[in-house]
A and B are shown apart, each in its own frame.
Chain A
Amino acid sequence: MLRFLIKRLLLASTTLVAISIVTFLLFFAVPTSPAWTMCGRNCSPERIAQVEKSLGLDQPIHKQYTDFVQGIFVGRTIDDAGTIRECEAPCLGYSFRSKEPVTDTITRSLPITLSIVVGAMVVFLTVGIGLGMLAALKKGTVFDRFAIGASVGFASTQTYTLGGVLLLLFVYTTGLLPNPSYTPISQDPVAWAGGMLLPWITLGLINSALYARLSRAQMIETLQEDFVRTARAKGLPARTVTRRHALRAAITPIVTIAGVDLGGYLGGVVITESVFSLNGIGREAAKAVNDLNLPVVMATVLIAAFFIVAMNIIVDMLYAVIDPRVRLG
């Protein structure tokens, strides 16, 4: 177990370093400069050089990269056109646009994304897996057909369509729900949930559809396994056969997919955040890419990569807990 963990952590750090280097290089491969977007089309070359200097972009790329890495681990001093800023570790730099420390941007936007994703996950895991398992047990019945039909419908709906329709129905037309907004859960849990309800439903329902189909297929396959027949041949009641023998085996691959999905979503749910105007990490990332805001791009990419890598390790460890045949090493 320990060997596995050390091996995977080393691999994960390598992955993160590689991703940071590639992102950095890609940024400079773009045939434009943040200085141009900031200063406008009619900017004089002198002015552009001045802006680039203030952003530190006049330095060689490898120097900029090592400065960035140094900032994360020991902090660094940034000279912004005469204004000296002490940036303590972990320093992700300052936003080119707002001059806000990037760590502040992250601590502000991450809880928003976290709130959306965790709530949506509760929706799609319960609704999706519940519907899928029931449909598998009632295979071929009206319920099964209805559940599968509905999931095809939702799976082929896009976040911006469903989100827009829900906004129109519940906020603009009837006013049943407040406009989605973020209130910290520590401040007012009811307002937090109320403001998050529509994103949860939107992201939750669309993913429920996928999870329903997946768990139905898994369950139908597991119900045909020999060990399920053995369980029935022992004289176990149907309910025990389903819960203790079939469900446990059917759920294993779903845990993997849900874990990896969670890792992906925590890095930002760009479309959901944009549809509901919530400044989560995905929206910040999209904005930063448009603005060529390097420090924010680097930070959001690394955070997204971190969640994916971390969730993969956790999923592999969970797998070994669920399935005794899996040995970590």
Chain B
Amino acid sequence: MTTSTSPAADAVDPDAYLQVRDLRVQFPTEDGLVRAVDGVTFSVRRGQTLGIVGESGSGKSVTSMSILGLHNPARTKITGEISIGGKNIVGMKEEQIQRLRGKDVAMIFQDPLSALHPYYKVGAQIAEAYKVHHPSASKKEATTRAVDMLDRVGIPQPQRRANQYPHEFSGGMRQRAMIAMALVNDPALLIADEPTTALDVTVQAQILELLEDLQREFHSAIIMITHDLGVVSQVADDVLVMYGGRPVETGSVEQIMRRPQHPYTWGLLASVPSLHGDASVDLVPIKGNPPSLINLPTGCAFNPRCRYAGQNGNRSFSEVPELRPAGEPGHNVACHMSFETRQRLYAEDIAHAGVAQ
């Protein structure tokens, strides 16, 4: 593995359906410039799932919103490249992005109760999503299509259910309806923003399974945004770990879950209880809170919370670490510590804690 001068370029797969290069999203506010996303590069092929992991405020949701072009251009500064099926949407006109939204790229949101309109019937809301991209379709065709989709996502009695309001659905059924709405136009890319966070654990597994089934059937690319490493290990092929608006570690799900290299990823893994160990002893929470995106700590943004900050003299506090190859192909990490040090610390401190074991 050679050290690339531009780690960003080497992470992008030129054949991928979605290619994001050096994306930066900034919001000027009265308190200062919010650097919500500060140089993220990744790609997703059709049929593949990318998990984006991080705490709230890490920039994962802002990233997904910019892929749909949902930020108000008057109040947002976006640079870099977001290429969807070969078209770069950064700087694209609103009318053009509108044609992509819901058709080529669709999104599922965290809380399906607030994400569905309370005043309209579920079937009508799905039919509306179909009709906007199929203007020649009749109302009847759109309704039939909506009922078909409800059936596809496993909602019993779809005909009757289409005529009900969101509040008459259970949480899991509502998220299925949301998925039906997102998939009604066969999008090539589906973004799921914490799709299972608001659901019961038993329902979570069903929804994830449904997404996997539908992905196989529609051969779509999926971005799964979550803070739940359990979800990532279940569905993702590749993982991007974000912290303070920057990527801190990328790699295959196997690399991130089994051979993590960044202290933040270690923290995430060690703070999830495992089914095998003793929960009261083996959990190692990450101390402190996520940083303010207006005023990031200098040097490595993670340094105030990192147990190992200062291992290399002053570098943690003065120099922002770049994403660099971490040994195996495709595995990159942004950490000042040497590969050997990271391997030793992981084996000594982390490997026995939480789900990391």
- Chain B, residues 61-105, CB within 8 Å of chain A (1/0): the string is 000000010100000000000000000000000100011111100
Q: A249 to B120: give the CA distance in the assembly, Å.
A: 11
Q: Are B132 and A235 touching (Cβ within 8 A)?
A: yes
Which stretch of B110-118, B222-230, B258-266, B344-352 is in the interface? Answer: B110-118
Contact A324 B117, CB 8 Å, known A229-B70, A233-B102: no
A53 within 8 Å of B (CB atoms): no
Contact of A227 (CB < 8 Å), options: B100, B114, B129, B167: B114
Contact A231 B117, CB 8 Å, known A226-B109, A236-B128, A237-B98: yes
B133 within 8 Å of A (CB atoms): yes
Count of A-B contacts judged by CB separation below 8 Å? 67
Q: Are A324 and B101 touching (Cβ within 8 A)?
A: no
Q: A54 to B117: give the CA distance in the assembly, Å.
A: 66
In the complex formed, the residue of A with least CB distance to B65 is A229
B149 within 8 Å of A (CB atoms): no
Contact A227 B103, CB 8 Å, known A234-B181, A236-B128, A325-B165: no
Contact of B114 (CB < 8 Å), options: A226, A233, A236: A226
- State which residues 181-215 of A face B: CB under 8 Å: none
Closest beta carbon of chain A to B327's beta carbon, Å: 39
In the complex formed, the residue of B with least CB distance to A240 is B132
Q: Are A230 and B116 touching (Cβ within 8 A)?
A: yes
Q: A325 to B165: give the CA distance in the assembly, Å.
A: 8
A108 within 8 Å of B (CB atoms): no
- Chain B, residues 164-201, CB within 8 Å of chain A (1/0): the string is 01010000000000000100000000000000000000
Q: A232 to B133: give the CA distance in the assembly, Å.
A: 13
Closest beta carbon of chain B to A233's beta carbon, Å: 5
Give every chain B residue within 8 A of A63 (Cβ-Cβ). none
Q: A68 to B176: give the CA distance in the assembly, Å.
A: 64
Q: Which of A234, A236, A237, A245 has the most CB of B within 10 A?
A: A234
In the complex formed, the residue of A with least CB distance to B184 is A234
Q: Are A235 and B133 touching (Cβ within 8 A)?
A: yes
Q: Are B118 and A325 touching (Cβ within 8 A)?
A: yes
Given contacts A227-B116, A233-B106, A249-B119, 19 further A-B contacts (CB under 8 A): A226-B109, A227-B115, A229-B70, A230-B109, A232-B101, A233-B70, A233-B101, A234-B132, A235-B98, A235-B101, A236-B102, A236-B128, A237-B98, A240-B132, A245-B117, A249-B117, A324-B118, A324-B167, A325-B167
